[in-house]
Structure 1
């Protein structure tokens, strides 16, 4: 997932942790059949990246 989104694996882990996802506790995974899934994930990752950058640069304005 990290490579596909162009972010580091640790960033994926941080985003999952913030969302309370614990994929290591599941026995399997499911792929969404939502036709907008990729668009939604991209938007969420973008928001998480923006939140992360605003922590690094206090006072940074958002989108």
Structure 2
């Protein structure tokens, strides 16, 4: 990465793990993305109401 400041940081409020993953150069070309969020959205029929950490499996409410 030329400029590390372009990549946002997002941490799990429970385990503190960074939930943003920088894609490999191959994935960047394939998906036209530089990074992805690894947090899991929990939704009702209309919208995301909470998030789950893929590392510690704890959930927290989405802030609107």
Output the TM-score relative to the length of structure 1. Answer: 0.26
Output the TM-score relative to the length of structure 2. Answer: 0.26
Looking at secondary structure, tell me which structure has more strand per residue: 2
Looking at secondary structure, tell me which structure has more helix per residue: 1
